[in-house]
Amino acid sequence: MSSMIVPLLPYIWPRDRPDLQLRVVVALLLLLATKLATLSIPLLFKLITDALVGDLEKPPMAGSQWTLWLLGAPAALVAAYCIARVLESALTQLRDGLFGRVTMHAVRRMAVKTFAHLHELSLRFHLERKIGGLSQVLERGRNGVEIIVRLVAMQLLPTFVELLLIAGYMMWQFDWRYVVTVLLTVIGYVVLTWRLTETRLGIRRIVNSADTEANSRAVDALINYEAVKYFGNEDREIRRYDSMMQRYEDASVKAITSLSMTNTANTILFTAGLGVAMVMCVLEVKAGTKTVGDFVLINAMMLQLYQPLYFVGLAYREVKQAATDIEAMRSVLAEEPEIEDRATAQPLKAGSGVIRFDNVVFAYEPGRTILNGVSFDVPSGKSLAVVGPSGSGKSTIARLLFRLYDATSGRVQIDGQDVGEVTQASLRAAIGIVPQDTVLFNDTLRENIRYGRMSATDAEVEDAARHAQLDGLIRAAPDGYETEVGERGLKLSGGEKQRVAIARTILKNPRILVLDEATSALDTRTEKEIQGALETVSRNRTALIIAHRLSTVVGADEIIVLDRGVVAERGTHQALLAKGGLYAGMWRHQSEAGDGG
């Protein structure tokens, strides 16, 4: 249990929030007051019972005597009993209300920490995971934190305090036999709950695994809705989802059945303990050493203890299940970021924007080298195009420049500064990119453009949109800049999404620009329309152009041709054509296919 609670203590007792610490202290005091009120309820019930039994043994009373009796001790005890019950409920609600802020603050802090950590993890980590699975990890982990904090504070701790108070009172008013009976019953209950819960954890893990798989499958199919429709594979996707839900259903039924068995076994055990305590008290009442009120008290105390003890069992099961739920979250938090700012990292001193790759070697995994000794320079304000066959390492160059990965060996420099020696934030602030596949947020056109620089004014956003030639789309849209673009921008065409990407980059106003296959997914007409906007955004900037279509790099100051991870050729467009090598062959092939010049 401690392994689940201790990691959460900094969130329950946050050092930077004295107001929440005060809430914790007050909640603990209210907890003690609540349990004292709880303990007084069966005590008052005993006193009322003894008073009634004593009065029944007296001669019948006249009317005036009944009036005096009602105004006497029994009536006062009944009033006190009612007040104690109201007080117990009121103090409990007040405690829960005060501690609720602490609980939800802990949930928020833990969820935000995990969300931030996910953004710190490498591109490699995200390429190997499914988005639907990660969202489930985050959601279940957040719920798990809430369950653990809430149940420990609201169920386990209060029941422990109540057990101590009952044991102390029984030792004082009864004897050690009653205390032993209660403690053995509680210990047996807890041990049985623990053993049965541990056996259920394996089932719970299967339930979680099936749930995550089903959710990932659903998200994947819905994200690729168009592909499913194009190939008429709705039935296949439904069958795959149904098979995963069948596994989830079977595991859930096992979990429900095992829970029923646990509850039944616990009820039998507690009833046996209650019966032993009641038999002992009956014998003492018969012997005249205890009153009928004492019998009522034992019964009421045991039954009163059963309800929180039942919830302790439930709470323990929920806490253990919640711990299972946050195992995945903790495993994510245990992942070490592949790319981190070094202790000596300084902000990039942005200058003229000179790029240098110096004998760069890179492999995504051992034995699979992508770049093998690549060297080139991009002078300030000039453009360098990187072309080559698929898999030659073109896009890897952009990822190394952004430091999404670190080079295996060699150096990547901007203005003479190794990208590994500067802070990631300052590095990426100096570089703008127009990617091949622009993924937009499910938000308005205005906010998607503003993503390039969140502090930009509406006027600056609209100016960037004009330079990116988005005017026609915005004028045609019924809501203008407030038009929703849909999930991943699915309401926009490929050309429109690329214009949004260009507008973002214009708004960012970087010194260095990367065009990563920026028009390869577009038709020739749309490409020519966008080319003008790309030339506008590239003007007076150092530009690295990664391209498949050679027609887009004709005007580059220099072109390098990658082949199997090495620079096979370099020069201007005309010089490379005249050389008659790999570039000339690619140009000829694209021209014959209608995709070249």
Q: 91 and 28 in contact (C-beta within 8 Å)?
A: no
Residue 35 token pair: 């349990």
| Residue 155 domain boundaries | 2-334
Q: Could you report how far apart the first and last alpha carbons of the chain are, in Å?
A: 69
Residue 183 to residues 265, 277, 295: CA-CA distances in angstroms?
18, 11, 19
Using DSSP bridges, classify how beta strands 417-418 and 409-414 pair: parallel, antiparallel or unpaired.
Answer: antiparallel
180 within domain boundaries: yes
Angle value at C-alpha 56, between 54 and 59, nearest 5 degrees = 105
On whether residue 532 sits in a domain, the answer given is no
**Residue that finishes a domain, picked among 281, 308, 334:** 334
pTM above 0.75, yes or no: no
Do 211 and 328 fall into the same domain? yes
Residue whose tokens read 């902000």: 347
Q: What are the residues facing 513 on neighbouring strands?
A: 432, 543
Residues 277-307: tens digit of each pLDDT: 888 888 888 888 888 888 888 888 887 777 7
What the block records as the tokens of 47 is: 């006193």
We report the CATH number of the domain holding residue 22 as 1.20.1560.10
Secondary structure (3-state) at 345: coil
Q: What is the pLDDT of residue 284?
A: 86
DSSP track, 500-520:
HHHHHHHHH--SEEEEESTTT
Residue 339, in any domain of the structure: no
Phi/psi at 118 (5° precision): -60, -35
Whether 82 and 221 share a structural domain: yes
Residues 538 and 569 sit within 8 Å (Cβ to Cβ):
no
Same-domain check for residues 135 and 240: yes
* Phi, psi for 355 (deg, rounded to 5): -110, 140
Tell whether 121 and 222 lie within a shared domain: yes
Shared domain check, 228 and 139: yes
* One domain, residues 223 and 84: yes
Closest-CA residue to 320 (of 174, 442, 193, 486): 193
Which residues of the chain have a pLDDT value below 70? 1-5, 7, 54-73, 122, 126-133, 136, 201, 226, 230-231, 312-314, 317, 321, 518-527, 529-530, 533, 593-597
> Is the residue at 529 inside a domain?
no
- Same domain for 446 and 560, yes or no, is no
- Is the Cα dihedral 394, 400, 404, 408 positive or negative? positive
For 225-254, write each residue's pLDDT tens digit. 767 776 678 888 888 889 888 888 888 888
Residues 203 and 312 in one domain: yes
Q: What is the CATH number of the domain that holds 352?
A: 3.40.50.300
What is d(CA 39, CA 30) in angstroms, rounded to the nearest whole number? 14
7 occurs within a structural domain: yes
What pLDDT score was predicted for residue 593?
Answer: 65
Phi, psi of 263 (to 5 degrees): -60, -40
- Please tell me the predicted confidence (pLDDT) of residue 57: 47
Among 315, 334, 353, the domain boundary falls at 334
Q: Are residues 192 and 99 in the same domain?
A: yes
| Same domain flag for 67 and 183 | yes
Q: What is the DSSP letter of 166?
A: H
Do residues 370 and 289 both lie within one domain? no
Choosing from 300, 334, 368, the residue where a domain stops is 334
CA distance 21 to 102: 8
Same domain, 559 and 445: no
* Count of domains for the chain: 3
